[in-house]
Structures are given as structure tokens and as C-alpha cells.
Amino acid sequence: MKKTVSIIGVPMDLGQGRRGVDMGPYAIRYASVKERIERLGLTVKDQGNINVPTAETHGIDNEKLKYLPEVAQVSEDLASKVSDTMGQGHFPIILGGDHSISIGSIAGVAQHVKKLGVIWFDAHGDMNTEDTTPSGNIHGMPLATCIGLGNEKLVNIAGFAPKLRPENVVIVGARSIDPEERQLIKQHGITCFTMHEIDKIGIAKVMEEAIRIASEGTEGIHLSLDLDSIDPDMCPGVGTPVLGGVTYREGHLAMEMLYQSGKVVSCDLVEVNPILDEHNITARTAVDLVCSLLGESVM
């Protein structure tokens, strides 16, 4: 693990249908993310927030790609910031904001880690495109975008595509996938461990296999941690909660195994919505999990 962690906030809610997720970075900071990471002996540099326009000041030109120009610009800005951070040898932690921010975070990481694996912790597939989306919300499209599917303005963020090879992408914790998403996941050979597999073989076996797949022929792993992957009893403050998710303890074991692998080079924490939360428990859970990812343990 690199000795310096850089925190980058992205108060983005343009990719999500419910307001409030733009306050996620503030809630995670309020949950003492910097102080908790510093207790692990790591240096933490908070880089502040990427500028994100407000929805009220912009219209929607395309109902199948809501706020496309604005999301694309934020993605470009974030990719540049993450790339600079990686260039300094830091470990970037990007605080969302809705899951559309992963378009920019992965674009920034992939400029330095040319063969990048991804573990996508999420209740959803995020594999929609403008042709398949039922909502037009871009937070349901970032994984498709990163493997080269969808609108060229999103696919070509940072001037190159694709950012990921599907065979090195693993979805963990899925339990709500649209029919056409399911077809795209199968068609492109993305590994998807649903809650069925986690229930059947356990989180340890799932993570062993996820780490193996994301590591095979790659130079590092990016973790994209959507807090709706965790069951709503511990993470009620998300825009699209789905019952029957990963438990708090399963989440910790997964993060501990990722730390032990020594392969994670970056991560983003997304979809924390304080308006929908209870006593900031979702943000506090996010901080607990990221600390396990960075090496916190009982003994």
C-alpha cells in the first residue's frame, strides 16, 4: 500500500434520479475519513472537490442521456485530477457523488495502470447504454462506458478507449440487473457474482475468485464501492437501495482480503446520500470499509 492517500471529492448528482447524493463527500468527511486513515500510519492529503454544476442551472437535451455535457466535463476534470494524483505516487480515494463519477476516476487511473482490473461492488450492473437505459440516468452506465460501450463522449473521456478489458472486470453483490444489462454482461464475458453465489459459496470464496480474475494479466485493481452493495439495514442512505445485500461483516472481510492481496491501486466510494440516511450510518460504514481496505484490522 502506498504511504500517501489523496482524497478527491466529487459532489455529483447529475447522473442520479434522486437529489442529495451530491452531499456524499461532505458526509464521508464528517465521518472522519481523514482522521481514521491517518491512524493507520498513512499520510492523507485532501485535494478538495471537483467543481460540479447544479442541475437547476442546466437543462436536459437528451432524456436517454441526462446531463450528458455536464457529466462528460466533470469526468474529464476528475480524470485529470486522478491522473495527477497517480503521477505523484499517491493512492487516490474518490468520494462520490453518484456512480457516474467512476467514468472519470477509472479514466484517470488507467492512464497510469495500463492493464487495470476492476472489482465493482454494487447491487446493480451499471451496464446500460443510451439504447438500453430505462431511466436515462448516467449512473447506470459507467461500467459499460469503461469497457467501450455507449456514447462516444463518455467512452472517450481522457482521449482513449476502452479503459478496461471485460475479462478483468468482476461485479460483486448484484441483485438488481435489467434484462438488457444481463445480456450485455454475458455477451462481453464480465464475471458477475450475484447474492446467490455469495449465499451459496460464501464471500471468502467469491473474493478469492474475484481477485484472481481482476489480477490475471493486470498491473493493479481499482475498487469501485457502491454503498448500495451493502444491505440497507447498514446503508439506508443510498438512492437505489435493494434488500438482501452484502452484510456489514461480509463487506469487511471482502475489504480485508483486497488489502491482503496487495493489488488495489485506487478506489471510489459512491452513492452515499445523507438526505436519505439515518444518523450518517451509511457514511460511517463507508469509512469503516475503506479503513479495512487500507489495512485496519482487529489485531
**Mind giving me the DSSP string for 157-223?**
GGG---S--GGGEEEEEE-B--HHHHHHHHHTT-EEEEHHHHHHH-HHHHHHHHHHHHHTT-SEEEE
pLDDT range class, residue 57, cuts 50, 70, 90: confident
Q: Is 226 a catalytic residue?
A: yes
On whether residue 221 sits in a domain, the answer given is yes
Q: What is the pLDDT of residue 220?
A: 98
Q: What are phi and psi of 157, to 5 degrees?
A: -55, 135
On whether residue 135 sits in a domain, the answer given is yes
Q: Is 288 a catalytic residue?
A: no
Q: Is 279 a catalytic residue?
A: no
Q: Is 122 a catalytic residue?
A: yes
Measured CA angle at 49 (ends 234, 267), to 5 deg: 50
Give me the amino acid identity at 161.
A
On whether residue 99 sits in a domain, the answer given is yes
Taking 70 as the threshold, does the pLDDT of residue 1 lie above it?
A: no
Stretch 19-25: mean pLDDT, rounded? 96
Give me the amino acid identity at 285.
T
On whether residue 12 sits in a domain, the answer given is yes
Tell me if 3 sits within 8 A of 262, measured CB to CB.
Answer: no
Instruction: Say whether 228 counts as a known binding-site residue.
Output: yes
pLDDT in tens, 126-146: 999 999 999 999 999 999 999
On whether residue 109 sits in a domain, the answer given is yes
Active-site hit among 76, 98, 124, 252: 124
Which grid cell sits at 251? 463487506
On whether residue 86 sits in a domain, the answer given is yes
Taking 70 as the threshold, does the pLDDT of residue 278 lie above it?
A: yes
What residues contact 174, with CB distance under 8 A and at least 6 apart? 122, 123, 124, 125, 192, 193, 194, 195
pLDDT in tens, 254-273: 999 999 999 999 999 999 99
pLDDT in tens, 153-183: 999 999 999 999 999 999 999 999 999 999 9
Write down how long the chain is.
299
Active-site hit among 13, 76, 98, 126: 126
On whether residue 106 sits in a domain, the answer given is yes
On whether residue 299 sits in a domain, the answer given is no
Residues 120 and 192: their CA atoms lie apart, in Å, by 9
CATH of the domain at 89: 3.40.800.10
pLDDT in tens, 201-241: 999 999 999 999 999 999 999 999 999 999 999 999 999 99
Instruction: Say whether 122 counts as a known binding-site residue.
Output: yes
Residues 231 and 60: their CA atoms lie apart, in Å, by 32
pLDDT in tens, 78-102: 999 999 999 999 999 999 999 999 9
Residues 93 and 295: their CA atoms lie apart, in Å, by 14
Q: Is 99 a catalytic residue?
A: yes
Range(s) of the domain holding residue 71: 4-294
Report the mean per-residue pLDDT for the chain. Answer: 97
Q: Is 112 a catalytic residue?
A: no
What residues contact 95, with CB distance under 8 A and at least 6 apart? 7, 8, 9, 10, 24, 25, 28, 29, 33, 268, 269, 272
Helix, strand or coil for residue 231? coil
Q: Is 77 a catalytic residue?
A: no
Active-site hit among 13, 76, 139, 252: 139
Q: How many domains does the chain have?
A: 1
